[in-house]
Amino acid sequence: MLNFGINPDICDWFKSFLANRISKVKIGTVTGPFLFLVYIDDLLSAFPDDVKVTAFADDLKLFSTNRDSLQKSLGILSEWCVKWKLALAENKTLVLHLGKSNPKHSYFTGTTKVQSTTCARDLGILVDDALTFENHIDKIVNNALHKSRKYSLDATCLFVLKHCPTHHPPTNVDLE
């Protein structure tokens, strides 16, 4: 962490916090996501320049229009996981092809084909291949309908909300 410019006193605190633990990153702590990002920092800089990478805690996304670079990145990720004895959650590893003219190539982690999907959850938000967010909106509305029945609220209002156009959000709304 010193290499990241973190104060030595804070590094000492982390050292004390992590001492004598089987798993060095304690799950469920506020510091866990930060420590995991420090842990994978070398991985984040290993991908080809034309691959964009986003990371939040143990959630990693790779974006590119170059299929060869994406496949190479999956190879880098697989090798990094083997080197550091981490299992890649292959059941949670998905490819979401964006764009109507996307040729939808297959990708592999080792010899395992990455499952293709038309909708994926990203930090709690459902993202579809057309970027419409209709699946996410439907899920929220259905949850609201379910809760309204649970609390005996009038579901008619929610039904009207469900069928309002979602592509033109109101602007300059006066909430008073």
How would you class 146 by CB atoms within 10 Å of its CB: exposed for 0-12, middle for 13-18, buried for 19 or more?
Answer: exposed
Nearest to 18 by CA among 2, 6, 35: 35
Q: For residue 32, give both structure tokens.
A: 């866990």
Q: Name 35's Cβ contacts closer than 8 Å, sequence gap at least 6.
A: 14, 18, 24, 25
pLDDT in tens, 6-38: 888 887 877 776 676 665 555 667 777 777 777
Q: Structural domain boundaries of the chain?
A: 8-132
pLDDT at 176: 43
pLDDT in tens, 143-176: 888 877 766 555 555 555 555 555 545 455 444 4
pLDDT at 162: 52
pTM over 0.75: no
pLDDT in tens, 62-98: 999 999 999 999 999 999 989 988 888 888 899 999 9
Buried-state track 10-32, b at ≥16 Cβ within 10 A, e below 16: eeeebeeeeeeeeeebeeeeeee
Cβ proximity of 52 and 83 under 8 Å: no
Cβ proximity of 141 and 161 under 8 Å: yes
pLDDT in tens, 106-154: 999 988 999 999 999 988 899 999 999 899 999 998 888 887 776 655 5
At which residue do the structure tokens 């229009």 appear?
65
Rounded to a whole number of angstroms, the distance between the first and last alpha carbons of the chain is: 49
Report the largest interatomic distance among the alpha carbons of the chain, rounded to a whole angstrom.
Answer: 59
